[in-house]
Chains A and B, each alone.
Chain A
Amino acid sequence: MSKMSYSIPIGPIHPALKEPVMFEFEIEGERIVGVDFKVGHVHRGIEWIGTQKNPLQILPIAERICGICNISHPIAFCMATEEAAGIEVPERAQYIRTITAELERIHSHMLWAGVAAHEIGFDSVLYLTWRVREKVLDLIEYLTGNRITKAMFTVGGVRRDITEEQYPKIREALNYYKEMFNKLKHVFLDDKTVRMRSRNCGVLTKKEALELCAVGPTARASGVKKDVRVDHAYAAYGDLDIKTVTPDAVTGEAKGDVYDRIIVRLLEVAQSVDIIEQCIDNMPSGDLVTEPKPAKLLALLRKAVGEGVGRAEAPRGEVIHYVKLTGEEHPYTWKVRAPTYNNLMPWIPMLMGEQIADIPIVAASTDPCMSCTNRVTVVKKGRVDILDHEHLHKLSVEKTRRLMQ
């Protein structure tokens, strides 16, 4: 530690995030020279709770691991359990799983876009993106009966059908997003100020992304072509024509900065619209579940012995669940790994050398909802000043205003 540096702890209260994060920054003047983090403030012991329940009771818990990834976690858990017990999923159920997963991606990326705009002081764009997001939430409610926790999955299939009478409403919403895409692209990618705040900011090189095991849009923005949907097909993704999205499709080169992460997420919204269209065009007929009677399904799972891994591409990256069944009522082991877990370490190279005012946008760029930073304590020569989230946000907004002049 040099003589001039002081440390700023940030966090740990982030109500929107599964794992609140406590950052400790080493600051020299305005520049960040050291980053440390502490996680686990709301470690709820979910994996342990799961080993006290039967697989069907775990489903609602898996759905509540994350408020936004409430499709990715149950789908990964179902796949791990199906693999362990040797259950095949009907084709139609696989297509319905894919459609719901992509709807989740659209709403999550739109939510993120709004948060990112808010972090750099563009609240009008926040209102625009969140209004646009309402359309997909309405569609999710129409298809599944709920905006957020959808309870769509069961081991061996899905619980609700998507019928042909529902197609017109799906197509209408998809067309809406197609129309809005160019507008959003213009707002985010052509705007001079957004570019100034996000270009060459929070850079994660390809080498760092590989070494630190980054996943999802964070890895893809750095040029690492890693997407479970393309590489390791699950549900209906093996049948579809999809390509891994990397920012060089637009700019010719993947720099791995915040701007590239915006590009990846925007293009993925367009990709999701395309995937849902492909799914409803080719929807196979057939059953929704392998075993519709829960008691019979549970009896089957009680006898099963084996282990399985379920991997799904959540909006933030790869979700992986490991399940071990030993022929008992409850799974022997359940391990959950959410994408932010792997995107913790990449924060360090991203934040190094940046300014304090860049903390909100860089930290938010991996999509962990750092916008909810509640409290900052500045410790300087024994004197403690408490800065709140508003102050940190104000610093960020002021930087944008300075750049605009």
Chain B
Amino acid sequence: MSKKLLTPEELVKDLKQAFKSKIKDAKIERRAVGVKKKERTALWLKADKESLHDIVKHLKNYDYPHLAVVSGNDLGKTIELIYHFTVYYGNPLQEILINISVELPKEKPVIPTITDIIPGALVTEREKQEMLGVKIEGIPDGRRIFLPDDFPEDVYPWRKDEKGPQKMVRDLYEVKK
């Protein structure tokens, strides 16, 4: 690659310059492994949900961002989505894992799709819709992917509130003969 690789610190600085207060929290985590104690780096960012789309677009300035997966948490009042990207792969030990967390209010859990930037995000976005009950705006294919067609409409397996799967769970020892 001809482009100069930024260090994690430079990358955070650049992102903060471009997005200012939209990026609330940035943490660089390094972990040394093996005998030689070589380090791998991860970035944890907290971002505004409105600016997520632009941040992903901005990541393209560094490298084609490889989306590993989107994971999610039910945090009570909000739903957190964490986008796990990697940039600078192909450069030994210089890859940076970028975890971007966004929080969506439960009353209106809507976030724009990023499939227009990374088409491969479709599978994981479809999964988030059915597992967490978030709405991905502009998703090209909104069908279910892992859940069966006869699964109830308003139950979301990863939710911890009344929309969670708890009422579908039956403990065998409680079943009467």
Contacts and interface: CB of A to CB of B under 8 A. Distances in A.
Interface stretch (A155-163, A257-265, A331-339): A331-339
B73 A309 contact: no
B69 interface: yes
Interface stretch (B6-14, B16-24, B51-59, B91-99): B91-99
Given A225-B89, A309-B84, A212 B119 contact: yes
Contact of B68 (A210, A238, A311): A311
A133 interface: no
Given A40-B148, A235-B33, A213 B90 contact: no
Interface in A161-196: none
Contacts of A342: 68-69, 120, 123
A313 B73 CA distance: 25
A127 interface: no
A47 B158 contact: yes
Contacts of A284: 35
A322 interface: yes
Contacts of A333: 71-73, 158
Interface size class on chain A is: 35 or more
A231 B145 contact: no
A342 B127 CA distance: 12
A211 B118 contact: yes
B99 A233 contact: no
B95 A232 contact: yes
Interface string B71-106: 111000000001010101111111101010000000
Nearest to B75: A332
B121 interface: yes
B40 A233 contact: yes
Given A43-B146, A213-B118, A236 B33 contact: yes
Interface in A277-322: 282, 284, 309, 311, 318, 320, 322
A244 interface: yes
A341 interface: yes
Given A233-B40, A322-B71, A337-B69, A211 B90 contact: no
B33 A231 contact: no
Contacts of A48: 157-158, 165
A358 to B, nearest CB: 23
Interface string A76-113: 00000001000000010010000000000000000000
A231 B84 contact: no
Contacts of A214: 120
B75 to A, nearest CB: 9
A317 to B, nearest CB: 10
Given A231-B94, A235-B33, A282-B35, A213 B84 contact: no
A338 B125 CA distance: 16
B61 to A, nearest CB: 15
Nearest to A220: B90
A233 B35 contact: no
A41 B95 CA distance: 35
B93 A238 contact: yes
A152 interface: no
A213 B121 contact: yes
Interface in A187-243: 210-214, 224-227, 230-239
A128 interface: no
A378 interface: no
A239 B40 CA distance: 12
B97 A232 contact: yes
B120 A233 contact: no
A345 interface: yes
B2 to A, nearest CB: 15
A39 B97 CA distance: 28
Nearest to A284: B35
A45 B97 contact: no
A151 interface: no
Contact of A237 (B34, B97, B120, B157): B34
Nearest to B29: A83
A345 B66 CA distance: 14
Nearest to B85: A213
Contacts of A41: 148
B69 A231 contact: no
A238 B34 contact: yes
Contact of A322 (B31, B84, B148): B84
Contacts of A235: 33-34
Nearest to B149: A38
Count chain A CB atoms within 10 A of each CB in B29, B34, B36, B123 and give the residue with the most: B34
Contacts of B35: 91, 236, 239, 282, 284
Interface of A: 38-41, 43, 45, 47-48, 83, 91, 94, 210-214, 224-227, 230-239, 244, 282, 284, 309, 311, 318, 320, 322, 324, 332-333, 335, 337, 341-342, 344-345
Given A213-B120, A284-B35, 6 more contacts: A213-B121, A233-B40, A238-B37, A335-B71, A344-B123, A345-B122
